[in-house]
Structure formats: structure tokens, C-alpha cells
């Protein structure tokens, strides 16, 4: 089928080989190569279409965005043309990132402007939640670990997305990676009333974004990088609750979203989300780096560093001192500062982990209302433990008590000792055992989907035939663990210790794990690799 892109067309559907629209007489083949198949979306800025590129072998799909100025007056068209070219230049620059659609072409036809981008096959996160239900805490942390480096890259290119939401995040079919789509500047409407104002005012004097996801300063036409952090925080709430912002209540005095009663997450993660959702820009995390530090997502420094290196100039040292550099310097002031951004962040993460380990620092980082104080991340070193003083032992939890608490709705069991507990065949989906002792625990045949085992000690644990789909095992110690026949599909195993772990017959489809880690474990011909294929012996 051929589809007419004329906004005034009364019947845009046409037969496949039709050259001219039967309803309005418009030419159907754009630029003599793009055959539009169907409309994908429409708004005040214009419309988006799915098309085939007939000039390439196989006629691959592409997405065409049509910008429609609100007037055909010459001065309005001139401003629209300038905005269009700036947008094409921006998309061409950031489209080098593998998780952002590439800009393939752009052109002007009559009084309309067109951007042609790579087509991303897959389901949006909004569709995922509607199909499978809300994410667990571990699932949202994994989501953040993927999207925060992308957000950092965009901001490093001086671009504010302005419309981050579940519908604009697609999980690509071929590799299951998240792709951020629909960059907001394409939605800019040229307002004839602004024609007599300065060029800057004419191009920015309109609110862009989705109500509920966009923070107050963005709706007041003053977006900053932290505006994207707020929208990402609202997206996290949607993933955890399956509720859109319009379905949640707001505090009439402060304007804050009231979401806490709808989620079951650890105290620390709740604090991070609270600061992402601060109405005041000054009290909100200022960058993606800040959120990464707060979450201790150390495994993702490598992908973040790659984003930095891919900036113009090829090296962070070629950039001017931006906001992120100043934040790093203030967090880690003093002599001996590493020049590498990733090294600076690693130091900040370690300092954050130490500072959070003491009650004094925990008190300093909160206000009486439970929110993180405006100082953000504190890097004060804790006082040294007197010589001979033993560390406070983890609270011991029996298998019976664990199942009782879980049955009553509790999910947070972080920093507990469950060593040698017998938990065969139990269902503990969505629970958090972050930084817990689970040595020699028996999880044979247990359902542990979306469980957070980050930094947990699982040495010699029995996880045979357990379902660990999408489990978070970053930095977990699995030395000598029995994982025969376990389902580890899409599990997060970055930096996990797998020395001597038995992965014979385990399913690792889509798991985040390196070849070096697998080389330390026991595998056989029945082990399904991350690619989804078994190894040929």
C-alpha cells in the first residue's frame, strides 16, 4: 500500500504501485525513492511515517518525520528551515551512538521538511509493561544501567532530549538493547506570533514534552540537562507501577508526585528515585553521572567512557570544562586527581560506598522528610574502626522467617545472612538480596526471576535448575556455585566471580557476561551461550 503524506488528504490510502494519490493528486513517491506505507503518529509538529527506501537493495524500512510549519508566511518558513537544518545536524551528530537511530537523509519539499531515520524493530517499554506487567527493582536498575550512559552521551553533545518516556524507548529485536527515539527538537513548532522576537526566542518559546514526564522548568520553557533526569525518574515509576503520571496523585503544596505507596523497593533505591524526581532543579541530580554514582553502577563505567571518547575531539581532554567536570572536581577535590573521567567516577563511587556505610553519613545525606539533602553525594571518609573492633555482623534470617516475610509482601532482604538455608523450590521473584551472605544456600529449582543479588556472596550455593531470568548478579561471588540447568536468560552478570561455577546445561541467552568470565566456569555442549546458541564441541 502507498500512503499519502498530504495533511489535507481526505483518503491517504492508495494501491501499491500508484504514483499519484487518487484522492488529492499529490505525488506519492517522496524524493523519487521513499514509498510511504503507513502513518505512525501525528501531533502539532507534523507526522511520522513508515516507508520503504526503493533505492536500496531489499527496499529496507525507514522512518520519515514530516515537520509542518504552522504558517506559510516567508519569515515563518525561514525560521522553520533554520530549525530543520539545526535538527538534522544534531541528529547526524548523535546518531553515531549504537542506541540512537541514525539519520539517513533530510530534504525539503514545498513548504514541508522531512527527516529520514533508521527504523528500529522492537517493542516499546510501554508495550512491554502492558504485556508483561511492572518491572522489579532489579529490572529497573538494569534499565538504568543501559540508558544512563546513553543519556550522558546525548548531554555531552549539548542535546536535551525533552521527551523521555516509556513509549520512546524501544527494546531492539535483534540484540535486546534499548534504543532512545523521537528527539524533541523535531517537535519544535514555529510560532508566527514570535516572528518579531529575536531568533533565539522564536526558536525556543514553546513548551515541549509530555505532561507528567516533563518537569516544571521544562514546561515553563527553561529545560536543562536535569530535566531529562526527571523524565527518566518518572519513567522508572511507570516501570515499577504500570501507572502513568496522570494516574498518580501530586502533593498540592509542593507539586511532588506521590508514588512511594505504590512501589516496593529498597530504602536506598527509593532515595535515588526521590532525588531524580525533585521538583526543584537545584535539589535534583544534575547529570546521568550523578545517578550512576548514587546507584553504585560501577560495571557501566566502560560504556560511559566509550560515550565520552566518541565526543568531538576524540578525547575528554579536548573538551572545555563542562558541568560534569566541575561536579567531579568538587566531589574529589585535592591533589592527585586522575585525568580519566572513568577513573574519577570510580573514585567517586568508592567514596560514595564508604560514606553510605556509616550511620553518621546516612543522617547527613537526609532531611527530616526522608529526602536526600541538597548537597547530593557526600564523599566524606568514615571514621576508622578502632583496632581490634569487629565489624557489626549481618542479621541472621532463617529459611522459615524469610518465606513468612515474603508471603506478607516484604521484598527487601538486603545485607542479611542466609548462609546454608534450605530454600528448594521456593518462589522469591522480585526480592532483593543485595550484599547478602548466601554461601552454600540451597536454591535448587527455586524461582528467582528479577531478584537482586548484586554484590551478594553465593559461593558454593546450589542453584541447580533455578529460574534466574533477568536476575541482577553484578559483582556477585558465585565461586563454586552449582548452576547446572539454571535459566540465566537476560541475567546481569557483569563482574560476577564465576571461578569454578558449574554452568553445564545453563541457559545464558541474552545474559550480560564476558567470555573471560565464562572461561573460568565449567560449561559443556548443553550450555546455551548469550548469543542463544550452544557451543560446538
Domains and CATH numbers, the chain: 2-118 (3.30.200.20), 122-188+208-316+324-333+340-364 (1.10.510.10), 394-537 (2.160.20.80)
- pLDDT of 339 reads 39
- CA-closest candidate to residue 109, choices 48, 66, 76, 63: 66
Question: What's the CA angle centered on 204, arms 150 and 256, to 5 degrees?
Answer: 65
Residues with pLDDT less than 50, the chain:
185-206, 298-385, 537
* Cα angle: 107, vertex 109, 113; to 5 degrees: 55
List helix spans (H) across 95-224. Answer: 125-132, 137-156, 199-204, 216-219
All three cell numbers of 119, joined, read 527504523
Give the total residue count for the chain: 537
- Quote the pLDDT of residue 354: 46
Dist CA 472 CA 480 (whole Å): 18
d(CA 215, CA 76): 29
CB 66 within 8 A of CB 47: yes
pLDDT value of residue 535: 60
For 273, the grid coordinates are 528515585
Q: What does the pLDDT look like over 407-418, one tens digit per residue?
A: 888 888 888 999
* pTM strictly above 0.75: no
Alpha carbon distance 151, 162 (integer Å)? 11
Catalytic residues: 163
By CB atoms closer than 10 A (0-12, 13-18, 19+), residue 386 is exposed
The Cβ of residue 277 has, within 10 Å, a number of other Cβ atoms equal to 22
The number of beta carbons lying within 10 Å of the beta carbon of residue 418 is: 23
CA distances from 290 to 152, 294, 330, 522 (A): 10, 6, 12, 38
CB 439 within 8 A of CB 461: yes
Give 423's Cβ-side CA count (13 Å radius): 29
478 burial class (0-12, 13-18, 19+ CB within 10 angstroms)? buried
DSSP code at position 46: E
Residue whose C-alpha is closest to residue 188's, from 64, 70, 62: 70
CB-based contact 209:218 (threshold 8 Å)? yes
The rounded distance, in Å, linking the Cα atoms of 281 and 195 is: 30
In the sheet with 46-53, reading across from the earlier edge strand, the strands are: 29-30, 34-43, 46-53, 61-67, 112-118, 103-109
Q: Which grid cell is 135?
A: 518491572
CA distance 51 to 31: 12
Cross-strand bridge partners of residue 477: 457, 497
Query: Diameter of the chain by CA atoms?
Result: 88
**At CA 460, angle to CA 456 and CA 466, rounded to 5?**
75
What would the grid cell of residue 512 be? 550480560
All 3 cell numbers of residue 239? 516501570
| Interatomic CA distance for residues 62 and 51, integer angstroms | 5
Measured CA angle at 401 (ends 400, 406), to 5 deg: 100
Whole-angstrom distance, CA of residue 205 vs CA of residue 209: 13
Q: What is the Cα–Cα distance from 315 to 339, expressed in whole angstroms?
A: 11
* Cα–Cα distance, 497 to 160 (Å, whole number): 38
Amino acid at each position: 500500500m502507498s500512503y499519502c503524506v498530504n495533511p489535507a488528504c481526505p483518503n491517504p490510502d492508495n494501491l501499491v504501485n500508484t504514483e499519484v494519490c487518487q484522492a488529492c493528486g499529490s505525488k506519492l513517491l517522496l524524493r523519487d525513492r521513499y514509498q510511504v506505507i503507513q502513518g505512525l503518529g501525528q501531533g502539532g509538529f507534523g507526522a511520522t511515517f513508515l516507508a520503504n527506501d526503493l533505492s536500496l537493495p531489499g527496499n529496507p524500512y525507514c522512518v520519515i518525520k514530516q515537520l509542518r510549519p504552522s504558517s506559510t508566511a516567508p519569515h515563518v518558513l525561514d525560521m522553520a528551515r533554520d530549525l530543520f537544518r539545526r535538527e538534522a545536524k544534531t541528529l547526524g551528530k548523535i546518531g553515531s551512538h549504537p542506541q540512537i537511530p541514525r539519520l539517513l537523509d533530510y530534504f525539503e519539499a514545498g513548504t514541508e521538511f522531512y527527516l529520514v531515520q533508521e527504523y528500529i524493530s522492537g517493542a516499546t517499554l510501554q508495550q512491554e509493561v502492558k504485556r508483561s506487567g511492572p518491572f522489579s527493582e532489579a529490572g529497573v536498575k538494569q534499565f538504568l544501567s543501559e540508558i544512563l550512559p546513553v543519556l550522558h552521551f546525548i548531554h555531552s553533545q549539548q542535546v536535551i532530549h525533552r521527551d523521555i518516556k516509556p513509549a520512546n524507548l524501544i527494546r531492539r529485536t535483534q540484540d535486546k538493547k534499548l534504543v532512545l527515539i523521537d528527539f524533541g527538537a523535531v517537535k519544535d513548532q514555529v510560532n508566527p506570533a514570535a516572528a518579531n522576537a529575536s531568533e533565539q526566542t522564536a526558536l525556543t518559546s514553546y513548551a515541549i514534552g509530555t505532561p507528567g514526564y516533563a518537569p516544571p522548568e521544562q514546561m515553563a520553557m527553561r529545560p536543562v540537562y536535569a530535566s531529562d533526569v526527571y523524565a527518566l525518574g518518572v519513567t522508572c515509576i511507570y516501570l515499577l507501577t504500570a501507572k502513568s503520571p496522570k494516574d498518580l496523585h501530586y502533593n498540592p503544596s509542593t507539586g511532588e508526585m506521590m508514588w512511594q505507596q505504590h512501589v516496593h523497593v529498597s530504602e536506598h533505591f527509593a532515595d535515588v528515585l526521590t532525588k531524580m524526581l525533585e521538583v526543584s532543579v537545584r535539589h535534583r541530580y544534575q547529570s546521568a553521572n550523578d545517578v550512576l554514582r548514587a546507584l553504585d553502577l560501577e560495571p557501566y563505567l566502560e560504556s560511559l567512557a566509550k560515550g565520552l571518547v566518541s565526543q568531538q575531539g576524540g578525547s575528554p581532554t579536548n573538551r572545555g570544562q563542562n558541568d560534569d567536570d566541575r561536579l567531579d572536581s568538587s566531589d574529589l577535590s585535592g591533589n592527585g586527581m586522575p585525568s580519566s573521567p572513568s577513573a574519577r567516577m570510580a573514585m567517586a563511587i568508592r567514596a560514595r560506598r564508604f560514606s553510605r556505610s556509616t550511620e553518621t553519613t546516612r543522617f547527613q545525606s537526609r532531611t527530616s522528610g526522608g529526602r536526600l539533602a541538597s548537597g547530593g553525594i557526600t564523599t566524606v571518609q568514615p571514621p576508622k574502626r578502632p583496632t581490634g573492633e569487629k565489624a557489626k555482623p549481618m542479621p541472621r534470617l532463617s529459611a522459615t522467617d524469610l518465606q513468612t516475610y515474603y508471603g506478607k509482601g516484604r521484598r527487601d532482604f538486603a545485607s542479611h545472612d542466609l548462609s546454608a538455608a534450605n530454600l528448594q523450590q521456593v518462589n522469591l521473584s522480585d526480592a532483593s538480596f543485595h550484599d547478602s551472605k548466601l554461601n552454600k544456600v540451597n536454591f535448587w529449582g527455586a524461582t528467582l526471576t528479577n531478584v537482586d543479588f548484586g554484590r551478594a556472596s553465593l559461593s558454593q550455593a546450589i542453584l541447580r535448575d533455578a529460574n534466574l531470568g533477568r536476575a541482577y548478579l553484578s559483582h556477585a561471588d558465585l565461586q563454586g556455585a552449582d548452576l547446572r540447568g539454571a535459566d540465566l536468560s537476560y541475567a546481569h552478570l557483569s563482574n560476577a566471580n564465576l571461578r569454578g561455577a558449574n554452568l553445564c546445561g545453563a541457559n545464558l541467552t541474552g545474559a550480560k557476561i564476558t567470555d573471560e568470565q565464562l572461561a573460568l566456569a565449567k560449561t559443556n555442549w548443553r550450555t546455551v551461550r548469550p548469543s542463544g546458541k550452544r557451543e560446538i564441541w
